[in-house]
């Protein structure tokens, strides 16, 4: 008696079907926005980690540090000062009293010195450091970019009169365990929708970072604010 062969799938056919299913699922996930949202959260976590590293290192080594945020290239890295900073949060210049690095910063510093003449103040020069991968971006030996498709929206510290959306922004960490009150906004692509934006709020006394949904602007204390400096009102 002749046996009729049973219809079935070969191993190759099964693998092809599984591959197609995975491809369709990947397209569906990407189209739903889950992947960009995940990259946004990972970028926020990376920036928060850099802030934690800088605060801890500054406290442990008694050196002044700063987090450099390149708002045009969407990259961050850490730098350390060669001498103590004599001008801290009260300085309103682009670099917060440090030696200017870029041409724009140098021009702004010269203009400020032209307007206000006085004895020169030693300005600390910062240099990139290699720590946990947050090193020299310009030399190509370190630093970290934001995730693909994620961009800085605005950065503002307590010494800034307004938020910055281009050039470089700096967040300083001073010896003794203190940083600046800051709002760091990152978003997906060019979207300005709040549901595609995350804000990192930095506490000046503890260096703690809170991540909030949407664009949260920095509330800069006024000169009439008599709150105690020992009370952490960074949020």
pLDDT at 167: 93
pLDDT at 215: 94
Query: Which residue, 31, 35, 36, 34, is CA-closest to 151?
Result: 36
CA 158, CA 100: separation in Å to the nearest integer?
Answer: 19
3-state class percentages of the chain: helix first, strand second, coil last, to nearest 5: 30, 25, 50
pLDDT in tens, 166-192: 999 999 999 888 999 999 999 999 887
Query: Which residue, 206, 153, 207, is CA-closest to 184?
Result: 153
The mean pLDDT of 88-104, rounded to a whole number, is 56
Q: What is the mean pLDDT of the chain?
A: 77
pLDDT at 148: 93
pLDDT at 125: 82
CA 36, CA 16: separation in Å to the nearest integer?
Answer: 28
pLDDT at 97: 53
Alpha helices by DSSP H, 33-164: 34-61, 103-115
pLDDT higher than 90, residue 49: yes
Rg value, the chain, Cα: 24
At 57, list the tokens.
């290192």
116 vs 176, which has greater pLDDT?
176
pLDDT at 159: 86
Question: What whole-number percentage of the chain has pLDDT above 90?
Answer: 41
Segments making up each domain of the chain, as ranges:
62-235
pTM of the model: 0.69
CA 26, CA 44: separation in Å to the nearest integer?
Answer: 24
Burial 13-28 (b: 16+ CB within 10 A, else e): eeeeeeeeeeeeeeee
The mean pLDDT of 16-31, rounded to a whole number, is 63
pLDDT higher than 70, residue 107: no
pLDDT at 111: 55
Backbone angles phi, psi at 183, to 5 degrees: -125, 120
Flag the least confident range among 111-125, 159-173, 183-197.
111-125
Q: Is 3.40.50 the CATH classification of the domain at 62-235? A: no
The mean pLDDT of 144-149, rounded to a whole number, is 93
């Amino acid at each position: 008696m002749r046996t009729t062969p049973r219809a079935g799938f070969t191993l190759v056919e099964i693998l092809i079907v599984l591959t197609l299913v995975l491809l369709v699922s990947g397209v569906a996930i990407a189209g739903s926005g889950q992947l960009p949202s995940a990259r946004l959260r990972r970028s926020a976590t990376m920036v928060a980690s850099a802030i934690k590293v800088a605060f801890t290192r500054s406290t442990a080594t008694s050196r002044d540090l700063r987090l450099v945020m390149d708002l045009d290239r969407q990259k961050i890295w850490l730098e350390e000062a060669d001498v103590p900073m004599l001008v801290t949060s009260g300085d309103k210049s682009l670099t917060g009293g440090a030696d200017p690095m870029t041409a724009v910063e140098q021009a702004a510093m010269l203009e400020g010195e032209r307007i206000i003449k006085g004895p020169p103040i030693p300005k600390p020069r910062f240099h990139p450091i290699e720590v946990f991968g947050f090193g020299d971006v310009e030399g190509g030996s370190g630093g970290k970019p934001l995730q693909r498709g994620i961009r800085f929206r605005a950065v503002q510290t307590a010494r800034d009169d307004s938020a910055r959306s281009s050039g470089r922004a700096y967040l300083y960490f001073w010896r003794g365990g203190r940083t600046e009150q800051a709002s760091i906004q990152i978003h997906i692509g060019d979207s300005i929708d709040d549901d595609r934006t995350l804000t990192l709020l930095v506490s000046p006394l503890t260096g703690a970072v809170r991540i909030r949904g949407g664009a949260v602007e920095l509330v800069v204390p006024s000169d009439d604010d008599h709150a105690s400096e020992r009370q952490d009102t960074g949020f």
